[in-house]
Structure 1
Amino acid sequence: MEDFVAGWIGGATSVIVGHPMDTVKTRLQAGTGYRNTLNCIFTMFKKEGVTGFFKGMSFPLASIAVYSSVVFGVFSNTQKFLIQYRYGDSNDSGTLSDLLLASTVSGVISVGLGSPVDLIKIRLQMQTEPFLKANLHWKPRPKDLCHPPMYRGPVHCMTSIIRKEGLVGLYRGASAMLLRDVPGYCLYFIPYAIINKWITPDDVRTSSPYSVCLSGGIAGAISWGTATPMDVIKSRLQADGVYSNKYKGVMDCICQSYEKEGFKVFFKGLTVNTIRGFPMSAAMFLGYELTLEILKGDETVTSH
């Protein structure tokens, strides 16, 4: 249970740190009219003020904490099970293959909970995009330029999707998320464990906050940076449907995006993904490890 609780605290911490740049990332990937990351930030600030960067944060803060709890809990307990099964001692450090399998299981499980959470978060982040930009083929009437937001909040967003598309609608983009998260979590947990072990002296029992932040930040930057191409597709599929439906599935989204914007479209948000991945993941792992240390008391907190 300690791993689940620690994952919940770490998840809440990462949302607070990373949500503003996550909103920028979503606008860059699924929106239109932004030249680059800085242009997107300045445009959002000019039109929406500081509050625009925190659009849709209440739902992730409440839900991603639970989502992170499950991901970290599943990863840690899967790793312990594998080590116990293979070596007969759950305190053994395990091997790279144990880390790989535990990360893969976490990535698969994450989609079940994370897909609806991500969908609602992205819909709330995107609904402040001008209505005419949501559908490039739509010819606006004067009264439509002041089109009200589609969703009044996360609960209204969720019920609207279910009413319109059924429960399956909450899993729009889930296949793209699966293709993003399985390799993404492998490149999240494995670099963290390797880097943390490398920079922590052999005679030190517990990793220092500095070691945790540095290794967690680097792991997050690697994971989010390499996940960008499929993250673009996932974001577009999940943002699709606020005002119109353009994509039939993952391959259709890939083909349409490539035909209209070229190969560079798959790297939209790469800079902001990599930059935000560092502080967000550093906060995630620091919150996780410190909480775990407090909950376990004098018990040694091992690197996961």
Structure 2
Amino acid sequence: MAEKTEVQEYEYEALPSNYGLGHNMLAGAIAGIAEHSVMYPVDLLKTRMQILQSTISGPYSGITNALSNIYRIEGWRTLWKGVSSVIVGAGPAHAIYFGTYEVVKELVGGNVDDGHHPFAAALSGASATIASDVLMNPFDVIKQRMQVYGSIYKNIVQCARTVYQTEDLQVFYVSLPTTLCMTVPFTATQFVTYESVSKIMNPKNEYDPFTHCIAGGLAGAVVAAFTTPLDVIKTLLQTRGLAADQEIRSAAGLFKATAIIKHQFGWQGYFRGMRPRIVSTMPSTAICWTSYEMAKAYFLRYGF
């Protein structure tokens, strides 16, 4: 009985020091795989809607139209094409993501008492996404190359080898500056929103799947809408090698891609795929945070 009481005395949000970094990273890996696997079909729809060049399967007028066209022309299995890339990449990337988050949060005093620490949450989130995006960016490029209509790639190894041989190593990181411009404020805002909503809904800081789910979903939806323009730019840079349009193929970075979108589609071009982005991000962040907190709760309860 005494041992059980001792476990309950731990502050839930931070695993005890004797658990070590490995447990936070394992919880993060579980969360990342769960998040990306469940919501992958919606992510594919978002990529298809953001692609600038027209194909026999697009452009789409909305989510329903996209689903109908993909089913009619390619079949349902297409919605999962490239999922192996995010499964392979998401585990290690999210392990680094949440491991960095917990380490930085502890260093800047985010786990002190039961107070609200928005600066610590923002700094921890920003640090986490920088560390994970460096690892995840090549997998994201491979994923989007496999998601586009008419993709010739059958697996991630073939895709990676072909892209490297026909373009070069740089293509795997050409979108990284844009990705960081998007994900650093995205994640910082998400973490602040998540922890703020959690404090309001769950002031006792107890394990509560409902709170983690709602707080994660709200945080993801808000920031997904505001960062859609950068996500469109990122998609253009990551899929430029597949474009028939020479102007798109020559896009060398953030500013060039921004100008191309404005020139070809006007201001509305920056918001292509916003609805599926919100639809995918809201439940995916809810799944991610719920899975992460569930894994931490499991470690605490069973002394893993």
| TM-score with structure 1 setting the length | 0.84
Structure 1 window deviating more from structure 2 (41-50 vs 165-174): it is 165-174
Could you tell me which runs of 5 or more consecutive residues in structure 2 were left unpaired when the two chains were aligned. Answer: 1-21
Q: Report if aligned partners of 1:150, 1:242 keep a CA contact under 8 Å in 2.
A: no
Residue 241 of structure 1: SS of its match in structure 2? helix
State the 1:100 CA deviation: 1.6
Q: Report if aligned partners of 2:51, 2:235 keep a CA contact under 8 Å in 1.
A: yes
**CA pair 90-160 structure 1, distance change in 2 beyond 3 A:** farther
Q: Which residue of 2 aligns with 1:22?
A: 43
Q: Which residue of 2 aligns with 1:108?
A: 130
How far apart are the structure 2 equivalents of 1:5 and 1:93? Answer: 27
- Aligned pairs for 1:191-230 (under 5 A) are 191-200=193-202, 202=203, 204-230=204-230
* Deviations 1:86-141, CA, capped at 9 Å, x for gaps: xxx75665622111211121222232112111101000101x34xxxxxxxxxxxx
Q: Which residue of 2 aligns with 1:124?
A: 146
How far apart are the structure 2 equivalents of 1:78 and 1:94? Answer: 16
Q: Which residue of 2 aligns with 1:133?
A: none
Residue 227 of structure 2: SS of its match in structure 1? helix
Q: 2:84 aligned with 1:58, yes or no?
A: yes
How far apart are the structure 1 equivalents of 2:170 and 2:63? Answer: 33
CA RMSD in angstroms, aligned pairs only:
1.9
Match of 1:9 among 11, 30, 37: 30
Residue 11 of structure 1: SS of its match in structure 2? helix
Q: Report if aligned partners of 1:59, 1:154 keep a CA contact under 8 Å in 2.
A: yes
Amino acid at match of 1:62: V
Residue 242 of structure 2: SS of its match in structure 1? coil
How far apart are the structure 2 equivalents of 1:38 and 1:173? Answer: 29
How far apart are the structure 2 equivalents of 1:48 and 1:189? Answer: 38
Q: Which residue of 1 aligns with 2:64?
A: 38
How far apart are the structure 1 equivalents of 2:233 and 2:205? Answer: 42
How far apart are the structure 1 equivalents of 2:163 and 2:279? Answer: 32
Amino acid at match of 1:289: E
Aligned residue pairs, count: 273
Amino acid at match of 1:125: Q
How far apart are the structure 2 equivalents of 1:243 and 1:268? Answer: 17
Q: Report if aligned partners of 1:8, 1:65 keep a CA contact under 8 Å in 2.
A: yes
How far apart are the structure 1 equivalents of 2:205 and 2:184? Answer: 30
Amino acid at match of 2:127: V
Match of 1:261 among 259, 265, 279: 265
Amino acid at match of 2:183: D
Amino acid at match of 2:134: G
Q: Which residue of 2 aligns with 1:78?
A: 104
State the 1:167 CA deviation: 2.6
How far apart are the structure 2 equivalents of 1:13 and 1:178? Answer: 23
| TM-score with structure 2 setting the length | 0.84
* Deviations 1:50-93, CA, capped at 9 Å, x for gaps: 11111111121121122111111111111011118xxxx75665
Amino acid at match of 2:117: T
Q: Report if aligned partners of 2:167, 2:241 keep a CA contact under 8 Å in 1.
A: no
Structure 1 window deviating more from structure 2 (252-261 vs 44-53): it is 44-53
State the 1:169 CA deviation: 2.3
* Deviations 1:244-280, CA, capped at 9 Å, x for gaps: 5241221111111101101011111111111111211
